[in-house]
Structure 1
Amino acid sequence: MDTHVTNPTILMVPGLRDHVSEHWQTLLEASLPNTRSVAPLEHRKLSRAARVAALDKALAAIDGPVILVAHSAGVMITVHWARTHDRPIHGALLVTPADLESPMPPGYPTMDVLDDHGWLPMPREPLPFPSIVASSANDPLCSAQRATELAKCWGSLIVDLGKVGHLNPAAGYGPWPQAEALIDSLR
């Protein structure tokens, strides 16, 4: 059996808040073998181009197959990256994408700011790798209907997680055991 195919590297793609110690991505990275994360940005933190370049740099350091595990704006980083890069990806788990084309709640960047930093429009092209969009029924950053529309555009399987908010510490989530099962389904 080829262990490269059954044990791809898991690469976490965090959202705009980068690494939060209590976040399920950070906790999962610490608990799963062969898992890494895109390094946080020190400058140009809102720049889509800088975020995509950081993802590309993290991927360049990995030999063999990769499963991307993206959350929130990390999903948008992933789909923007996929439009312009051709490195094979084994699969992607795209968790509670942020709908950057709709007004964000207070405390988040405005659509004008996001547009100025290259985030809009959001890509709609099919992804060149298998993917799962895990959506929330009550996500303040993306309606379930919008997540389903995006999943269809990207050619992704949609998984309804129920009412989990934005699946982050503010919504009461640190550990998220279902992530492992969804990652395993992409192996």
Structure 2
Amino acid sequence: MTAQPRFLVLPGYEGSGPEHWQSHWEAADPAFQRVEQADWDHPVLGEWVEVLDAAVAAQEQPVVLVAHSLGCILVAHWAAQRAGAAVAGAFLVAPADIEAAGVAALDNFCPIPLEPLPFPTLVVASSDDPWCTLDRSQQFADAWGARLAVAGAYGHLNSAAGLGDWAQGRELLGQLLS
């Protein structure tokens, strides 16, 4: 990648609070920019896709999507609708298996697209994620044409995991970019 990329941060359901690794990365590096959705607690797939599409279109430099949880599922939906969009890569952390979650607010994101993503992708999973089994994370990675990295036993890899700046995540992001 020749130009410095813009990292578009895509939180999931209910957003990413101040202790989330995504928030730490944004605070530490201006190249990381959160894509703000209108309503984190009542996600509407069509609206979220349009906001992401506008955010990608607004960038002049290469774009890397940095997604967590429902944000990963958003990327799969967006890519299925916007094939050929200029994205240099996707870093998808703890994709939520919303088809098994039983959360009515997320039903409009079902079914989860299982087509290959048209850009290099790394899926990062936890071995004890309550929102997605490791086997299901592997299924997502395989379907999306991505590599799977298992970060260890960190739950949903969110604020509750206490990852802070999550140095391991930064290393994994670097592997995607190299």
Same fold (TM over 0.5): yes
Mapping for residues 115-154 of structure 1, pairs under 5 Å: 115=107, 118-154=108-144
Alpha-carbon displacement from aligned partner over 1:94-113 (angstroms, at most 9, x marks no partner):
00000011135xxxx23xx4
Partner amino acid, structure 2, of 1:128: P
Runs of 5+ consecutive residues of structure 1 not aligned to the other structure: none
Partner amino acid, structure 2, of 1:114: L
The size of the alignment, in residue pairs, is: 176
Aligned partner of 1:114 among 106, 119, 125? 106
Q: Are 2:156 and 1:158 aligned?
A: no
Alpha-carbon displacement from aligned partner over 1:4-56 (angstroms, at most 9, x marks no partner):
1xx21111111011241111001101112422110131488321111111111
Matched-pair identity in %: 40
TM-score by length of 1: 0.88
Partner amino acid, structure 2, of 1:124: L
Flag the 1:61–1:161 CA change in 2: closer, same or farther, 3 A. Answer: same
Runs of 5+ consecutive residues of structure 2 not aligned to the other structure: none
Alignment RMSD, CA only?
Answer: 1.7
Superposed structure 1 runs of 4+ greater than 6 Å apart = none
Partner amino acid, structure 1, of 2:91: L
After the TM superposition, which of the residue ranges 31-40 and 153-162 deviates more from structure 2?
A: 31-40
Flag the 1:27–1:44 CA change in 2: closer, same or farther, 3 A. Answer: closer
Q: Which residue of 2 aligns with 1:69?
A: 66
CA distance in 1, matches of 2:52, 2:111: 19
Q: Which residue of 2 aligns with 1:172?
A: 162
Secondary structure of the 2:99 match is: coil
Flag the 1:42–1:165 CA change in 2: closer, same or farther, 3 A. Answer: closer
CA distance in 2, matches of 1:8, 1:185: 14
Partner amino acid, structure 1, of 2:106: L
Alpha-carbon displacement from aligned partner over 1:48-86 (angstroms, at most 9, x marks no partner):
111111111211221121111100000001110000113
